[in-house]
Structure 1
Amino acid sequence: MTLSTGVLLASIALGALYGVAFCWRPHSLLKLIVKTGSTALLALWAYLLGGPVLLVAGLALSALGDFFLEADENDKFLLPGMGAFFAAHIAYIALFWALPQADRTLLILAAQIGLIACGVVFIRWLAPWVTKDMRFPVIGYGAIILMMGAAALRLDPAYLPVLLGALMFIASDVILSFQLFVRPADAPKRALPSIALWFLYYGGQALIAWGVLSNLD
């Protein structure tokens, strides 16, 4: 077994463990280690396989975001976490634009417009639930992740796993927004939405990485 394969298997094992045993539970040091470790190992896997710097950066910044979001149960690090993910999406946008692009078609344009329109409607619906001091960060984050999704829609068909991963990432953030802003602060996390959120997020990151790495020359 190569080192890169061992790192990937360790990441998958931690990701599965977090999804089935930790994701809906209260904050703890072990939960923080398992969650951050699973995504940090994806970044290490991409690095060991010679992945593009922007891919490694996107994965590493996402792992940093995971650390911040899990580090404090009172959401004291919510803004730093959002900032880390914001930077990760910038890295992904730059990466997607550097990858081979599909021919421009009306279908792709319609998909991009539809994605952005749905995102705008959702953010507009979410806004009243968000405190005033968080509205601008939430709108900015929503805009950047929609740009990431729109960039993924333009990728060559060989990068279909990357597109699926990007859409899964967006779906996970929709669930997360419900947990952060709509769910009452004193309500415990429900297992099913937390499990869906995690596997959409981790699976999306893994697909983005695999889709890029499998197309390396």
Structure 2
Amino acid sequence: MTALKSPWLIAFGVVAVVHLVLNGTGPAPWDSISKCLLAPLLAVWVLEQQGPRLLAVALAFCFLGDLFLEIEDMFTAGMAAFAIAHVCLITFFVRRGAIDRLRRRPMILVAYVVLAVGLVAWCWGGLEPGLKPLVPVYAALLLGTAAAALSTDLRAGIGGALFLVSDGIIALSEAGRIDGDAVVTGLAIMALYILAIFFLTTGMLSREKRTLAAGDGFDPTVRTDCWPRLPAAQS
């Protein structure tokens, strides 16, 4: 069975489509139930593929974040759960050499810092007092995930960028900068979030598999980016 034919990944795709349809039409509680199934299905797929356990842990905290955000007065708890998920993701990328690669490509980090600062500044005046200390910290974690992911793998980097945009829309909604109750806003947030966790997960898992495939065939005396490249074909 190939990774893309796994029933868990297929189930994720089905639930994603169902949730977007339910999100647009609004029949509770099925929209909430389908939303909370997304991250666990990806986590089980990661474990089935013998992927990084830290990635599965990050997805587990994404599930808790989704769950808490569906419960009244637990927005802060939801933010905290997602913050832990981002700590897991950043840790994963740092362990695989993200800091060294960002030093060689500093404009990635600079661009994300400018974007995050601009987003926080735009939201700041409309945020509730209780959220103001939390939003900059969470924004820093978002940009950390996005920058570290992009420095490591293009597909994962796209996922990190989409995560930042999705949560940025949520922040703008909470600050009253855009209409958070509009159907199109909810659809945009969830579509971007679904694509974010999908690209992050598949990008990271694919990169890990290439590392394992390299095995003992790479030259350990040649400096790499912590992910060994497959040996070149001999002519």
Q: Which interval holds the TM-score relative to the shorter structure? A: 0.7 to 0.9
Alpha-carbon spacing, 1:189–1:107, altered in 2? closer, same or farther (3 Å):
farther
Q: Summarize deviations over 1:170-195 as a string: whole Å, max 9, x none.
A: 011111112222168xx772222222
Q: Let me know the Cα RMSD of the aligned residues.
A: 2.4
Contact 1:24/1:189 (<8 A) preserved: no
Alpha-carbon spacing, 1:105–1:141, altered in 2? closer, same or farther (3 Å):
closer
Q: Does 1 or 2 have the higher relative contact order (CA < 8 Å, sep 6+)?
A: 1
Specify the alignment match of 2:193 in structure 1. 201
How many residue pairs were aligned?
Answer: 208
Specify the alignment match of 1:160 in structure 2. 154
Question: Is 88-97 or 48-57 further displaced after alignment?
Answer: 48-57
Q: Which one has the largest radius of gyration? A: 2
Specify the alignment match of 1:147 in structure 2. 144
The two structures have a TM-score, normalised by structure 2, of 0.80
Alpha-carbon spacing, 1:11–1:104, altered in 2? closer, same or farther (3 Å):
closer
Cα offset, 1:29, TM superposition? 2.4
- Write the distance in 1 (CA, Å) between the matches of 2:114 and 2:48: 38
Specify the alignment match of 1:18 in structure 2. 19
Specify the alignment match of 1:68 in structure 2. 68
- Equivalent residue of 2:35, what SS? helix
Specify the alignment match of 2:10 in structure 1. 9
Cα offset, 1:20, TM superposition? 2.3
Aligned residue identity for 1:37:
L
Contact 1:64/1:81 (<8 A) preserved: yes
Q: Summarize deviations over 1:80-126 as a string: whole Å, max 9, x none.
A: 10000000000000011123559747882112112101211220221
Contact 1:59/1:88 (<8 A) preserved: yes
Aligned residue identity for 2:40:
A
Alpha-carbon spacing, 1:10–1:135, altered in 2? closer, same or farther (3 Å):
same
- Write the distance in 1 (CA, Å) between the matches of 2:101 and 2:79: 32
Structure 1, gaps ≥5 residues long: none
The percent of aligned pairs where both chains have the same amino acid is 27
Q: Summarize deviations over 1:145-182 as a string: whole Å, max 9, x none.
A: 11222222321xxx211011000110111111122221
Alpha-carbon spacing, 1:86–1:33, altered in 2? closer, same or farther (3 Å):
same
Structure 2, gaps ≥5 residues long: 213-235
